[in-house]
Structure 1
Amino acid sequence: MKRSTLGLLLSCALVSGAGYAAPVQLSSFGNLPDDTEVNGFHGTFLYGQTGTVNGVDMPILGYTEMDKLNGLELGVGGDHIRNGMNGMALNLFNWHGGEDNGLNIGLANQLGNLNGASIGLYSGTANMTGLNLGLANTTANATGWNLAGLGNYSTGNITGLNTVGLGNDTEGSIYGANIVGVGNYTGGEVKGVNVAPLNWTAGNTQGLNVSLLNHTADVQGVNIGALGNWSEGKITGVNAGIVNVSGDVTGLNVAGFNKSGNMTGANISALNWTGDVTGFNMGAINLSHDVTGMNLGAFNVANNVTGMNLGVVNMSTGSSTFDFGLLNSASATNFQIGLVNVTNNLEGLQIGLINVATNAAVPVLPIANFHRSF
């Protein structure tokens, strides 16, 4: 009696276990056997649906749906894995929810969160850690390498390398390298390297920004635009281009044309148009507010100059310390040396062919002097 009862219990357990996990399951609009879990092999022809597959899944000329895959999928068709995969899926197209840990290869991949690699003509993921390779890639946050032949579109941040043949559109920030054949758009900030014929960064840039045309907010580092740089914020570092337009600059501003706020450092251009300059202002034409340092150009126009004003024509609407040029004009000055010197108040020495000083503290030299008092 006891042996019969024990045998009955063992038989029930085996039947129950067999109903829960089948070693082999074949599907074609139905499952044989009709189990929800497979530990071994699952094959699909045309259409199949099951629960979890632990082992190998093989869809042949069909489409398979399952809850989860732990293992390997090899097929000529497509799949929909609702809760992600641990392993590898090689198929014509892969559609996965949840989280994938491993490798996906297909003509088109649309995945949930990915830890691993996704390779396809189209490769789309939620958050990605690893490699995303395709002609066109979409992702949320990406950590690793996002590589596309045509374009990358990211709704989140990129940490690592974002490279593409045509364009990168990143709604978040770049922490690493953003390199593209045509254009980069970054909705957040860039910390690292931003290289493209056209870079448009809505936020700040820290690092290296290289392009034909650059747009950014603040720049800390190097901003190089072959045609021009447009920075709506401040520049701290090097700003180099044919045309530079920015807020305040601390460092080096080099261009055919520089338009900036206040300048601290060196401003070098054919035409410099700035606010206050502290340092060195060199250009064929320098237009600035107050200059503390040296103003060197064929034509210099400033308000107050504390230092040296050296040019063919020097014009200061306020005061200047030292003017040296063919034509020097200042409201008040200490020293003026030129062919023609004109000032209202002269505190020091004026040397020229024609000297005009309304109020002079000392005599003016030499040939033609026009002054009211010494």
Structure 2
Amino acid sequence: MNLKLLTAGAILASTVSFGAVKPAQFSVLPGVQFGATKYDSVANFSFNLLGAENQNVSGLDVSLVGYRQVNGNFSGFHVALFGFEAFRVNGNMNGVSLALWNDVHGNLNGGTIGVVNTTDGNAVFNLGGVNVTRGEATVQLGFVNYAETTKGLQFGFVNATKNLEGVQVGFVNYAANGVLPVLPIVNFRKSF
């Protein structure tokens, strides 16, 4: 009986220590992190040499190069100083990120600036070479822009959307519900 209580107490103590909110973190690479583990959230500042992984992050998140993953939500400002980084948020993002590839699996309330920006939910602002939003996009500025629904502006060389409630400006503009499905220079919704 005492062994069972001791084991249960050890398990409870170990789970309580995981998932804490830490004020700061220094990370060499994912798994070699000081100040916070991948099970913890960071609320203020994180500096990452070759990458890091955390649950939730809020505040200033600075990386040199590599891979940065947030398993929950991100709120704040993320910057990859040398630009060569993949930044992934598995939840929602509120704020701004500057990285080579920004990948948000939830909604983006803010903006991403990168060579490739992908969002599985809705996105307010994307600036990059290729912007893909699987939900609703408000503003996409890039070489190639795609959104399931565009409620605002797509400005690029090639723009594509299934449902346009705004304006597309570019060399090739595809909107399933546009004035015509494909138009050069400008396309807009029929009842716009």
Band the TM-score falls in, shorter-chain normalisation: 0.7 to 0.9
Q: Return the offset for 1:220.
A: 2.6
Distance in 2, matches of 1:370 and 1:280, equals: 29
Measured against aligned partners, the alpha-carbon deviations of 1:92-149 in whole angstroms (never above 9, x if no partner) come to: xxxxxxxxxxxxxxxxxxxxxxxxxxxxxxxxxxxxxxxxxxxxxxxxxxxxxxxxxx
User: Among residues 337, 348, 358, which one is paired with 2:176 in the alignment?
Assistant: 358
Contact kept, 8 Å, 2:168 with 2:187, in 1: the verdict is: no
- Contact conserved, 2:169 with 2:187, CA < 8 A, in 1? no
> Is this contact kept in 1: 2:123–2:133, CA < 8 A?
no
Give matches, 1:197-216, under 5 Å: 203=17
Match of 1:319 in 2: 136
Q: Deviations over 1:344-367 (max 9, x none)?
A: 11111100000000113x789962
| Cα distance in 2, alignment partners of residues 290 and 268 from structure 1 | 19
Measured in 2, the distance between the counterparts of 1:350 and 1:309 equals 14
**Alignment partner for residue 284 of structure 1, among 75, 78, 100?**
100
1:299 equivalent in alignment to 2:116: yes
What TM-score, normalized to structure 1? Answer: 0.39
What is the identity, as a one-letter code, of the residue corresponding to 2:165? Answer: E
Tell me the C-alpha RMSD between the 2 structures.
2.8
- Contact 1:303/1:319 (8 A) holds in 2: no
The structure, 1 or 2, with the larger RCO (C-alpha pairs under 8 Å, 6+ apart) is 2
Which structure would you say has the larger Rg? 1
- Which residue, 166, 169, 175 being the options, matches 1:348? 166
The one-letter amino acid paired with 2:166 is: G
Contact 2:52/2:69 (<8 A) preserved: yes
Residue 266 (str. 1) matches residue 84 (str. 2): no
Q: Partner residue of 1:234?
A: 41
> How far apart are the structure 1 equivalents of 2:156 and 2:189?
20
- Flag structure 1 segments of 5+ consecutive residues without an equivalent: 1-187, 190-201, 205-216
Shift of the 239–218 alpha-carbon distance from structure 1 to 2, 3 Å rule, reads: farther
Q: CA deviation at 1:305?
A: 3.8
Give 1 or 2: higher strand fraction: 1
**1:253 maps to which residue?**
61
C-alpha separation between the residues in 1 aligned to 2:165 and 2:111? 20
1:148-188 superposed Cα distances (whole Å, 9 cap, x missing partner) = xxxxxxxxxxxxxxxxxxxxxxxxxxxxxxxxxxxxxxxx8
State how many pairs are aligned. 162
Kindly state the Cα deviation for residue 371 of structure 1 after the two structures are TM-superposed.
8.2
Q: 1:342 to 1:365 in 2, by over 3 A?
A: closer
Given the two structures, how large is their TM-score scaled by the length of structure 2? 0.74
CA offsets, 1:317-353, max 9 Å, x none?
Answer: 0001000000000011121000000001111110000
Q: Is residue 22–residue 40 contact of structure 2 (8 Å, CA) maintained in 1? A: no
